[in-house]
Structure 1
Amino acid sequence: MILVHDIFVCKPGNASKLAKLFKEVMGEEPEVVNILTDMTGQFNRVIMVSKYDNLTAYDKSWEELVKNEEKMQKMKEKMEGYHELYLTGSREIYKVW
């Protein structure tokens, strides 16, 4: 199993807005495990945690999302302007032992 952390460092005051947006748009996706905001450490972070059986399943989930044009369009509409809420981001992929 792998865990994927999509990490966003938000502009001050926007972490909760981005977390709520992710929860609304991505909350029903079966792979999305949690939407996290920081309590200690680096401030203004939102982390979306997703779980997959392996890297192949991770790749396949992206392919399936792109194929579903209607779903992709709805996500784009809901996520419009989200880039204004954060400064930078990264992705970390972990193997669970």
Structure 2
Amino acid sequence: MLIVHDIFVCKPGNASKLAKRFKETMALGNQPVTVMTDMTGQFNRVIMVSQYDSLSAYEKSWEDMQKDPETMKKMEEAMKGYTDMYLTGSREIYRVW
């Protein structure tokens, strides 16, 4: 199993706004995602956590999402302007043993 962390370091005052937007937008798709904000450590972080059986399952989830143009359009509209809310981001993929 793989666990994927999509990490966003937000501009001050935007972490909770971005977390809420991610939570609402990801609910439109079929992949369960957990959205977290920091309580300790680096400030202003939003982390989306998702799980997949393999890297090919991870890639397939993106392909499947793109096959549904109506859902993609709704997600794009919901995320409009989100790039103004964060400074930088990264993705970490972990293998669970």
1:41-81 residue CA offsets vs partner (Å, 9 max, x unmatched): 10000000000111110000001111111110110001100
Whether 2:57 is the aligned partner of 1:91: answer: no
Whether 2:64 is the aligned partner of 1:64: answer: yes
Which residue of the partner structure matches residue 40 of structure 2? 40
Gaps of 5+ in 2: none
Tell me the secondary structure at the aligned position of residue 24 of structure 2.
helix
Gaps of 5+ in 1: none
Matches within 5 A, 1:9-20: 9-20=9-20
Give distance in 2, aligned partners of 1:28 and 1:74.
Answer: 8
The Cα of 1:32 is off from its aligned counterpart by: 3.0
TM-score, normalised to structure 2, is 0.94
Count of aligned residue pairs for this structure pair: 97
Instruction: Check the 8 A contact 1:31/1:52 in 2, yes or no.
Output: no
CA RMSD of aligned residues (A): 1.1
Compared with structure 1, are the counterparts of its residues 6 and 42 closer, same or farther at alpha carbon in structure 2 (3 Å cutoff)?
Answer: same
| Structure 2 residue identity aligned to 1:19 | A
Which moved further from structure 2: 66-75 or 31-40?
31-40
Percent of pairs with identical residues: 68
1:7-55 residue CA offsets vs partner (Å, 9 max, x unmatched): 0000000000000001111135453341000011100000000001111
TM-score, normalised to structure 1, is 0.94
